[in-house]
Structure 1
Amino acid sequence: MKIIVLVRHGKSSWEFDVSDRKRPLKTRGKNDAKLIVNQFIKENRLPKNIFSSPAKRALDTCKIFAKSLSLPKNTIEVVDDLYDFGGESVIKFIKNLPDDYDEIMIFGHNHAFTSISNIFGSIFIDNVPTCGLVKIRFEIDSWSDLEQGKTEQILIPKELK
């Protein structure tokens, strides 16, 4: 069995004149990340393998989760291929993971995460919003065999407020 937890980055700020990769989180993005991780902690075992896009907004969201989960920052692996908006690079990354990783958490972007949730999950999601979390379970032994799984959890910040 394999489990993927996808977390879209929190709401980012457009008020700074920086490149897309360097856009920071807004206060709302930070607060939503704390709200989602606190709900996630109540209902789940913590993944040991955490990966993030190198984009500041995704990595900062990931760091908020890591801190709330009491995980050291060196637990986070930053992967350039996760700076992907279509989903192809993320899927390729997942399919090439070591098979001894059973549960993973990935921080990244839309439309990639909505597409992946709909391709591999069992519940249609119109849009994974900022700081949205989707957990999908797969009855496979090898990541290279990635196929249709079962959506086990969807957390949306607006629904928790």
Structure 2
Amino acid sequence: MKTLYMARHAKSSWKYDLPDHQRPLKKRGHNDATLVSEKAQAEHKPPQKIITSDANRAQTTAMYFKNAFGISDKDFVLNHDLYDFSGQGVMEIIKNLDDSLDRVMIVGHNHAFTSIVNMLGNEYIDNLPTSGFVMIKFPVDSWKDITTGKTKSMIFPRHLKE
């Protein structure tokens, strides 16, 4: 059984004149990433590894999950190929994960992440929101064999606010 956690980066700021790759989170992004990462940690086993896009907004979001789940530095990996909006690079990373890992979290970007949660999961999500977290389970022993799995959990910021 393989379990994939996917999280879209938190709400980013357009306040600064920076290249897209360097954009930081805005205050709401920090708040939402805190809420979602704490809820994910309370409800799910920690991933064995977190792999995140190296874009500033994704790295910062991933750090909230790293801290909530208590992930070590050696199991927290930056990967430029997750700075992908089409999904090809993301799927390449997923399909090539080490089979010794049963639970992996990836943090990245739309439109790739919405497309992939819909392609790999069995529940349609119109749009994976910023800070959105999805868990999908696959009844396989090798990451290269995953096709459609079962969407077991969705945690979105709007679920945690009243």
Same fold flag (TM > 0.5): yes
In the alignment, which residue of structure 1 is the partner of 2:152?
A: 152
Say yes or no: does 1:62 pair with 2:62.
yes
2:101 match: secondary structure: coil
1:79 maps to 79
| 1:48-98: CA deviation from partner (whole Å, max 9, x where unpaired) | 111000000000001111122223334310011100011111001111111
Structure 2: gaps spanning 5 or more residues: none
Contact kept in structure 2, 1:132 and 1:154, CA below 8 Å: yes
Superposed counterparts of 1:108-123, under 5 Å: 108-123=108-123
- 2:39 maps to what in 1? 39
In the TM superposition, structure 1's runs of 4+ consecutive aligned residues that sit over 4 Å from their partners are none
Root-mean-square deviation (CA), in Å?
A: 0.9
State the match for 1:92 in structure 2: 92
> What is the TM-score with the length of structure 2 in the denominator?
0.96
How high is the TM-score relative to the length of structure 1?
0.97
Percent identical? 46
Structure 1 unpaired stretches of 5+? none
Query: Equivalent residue of 2:59, what SS?
Result: helix
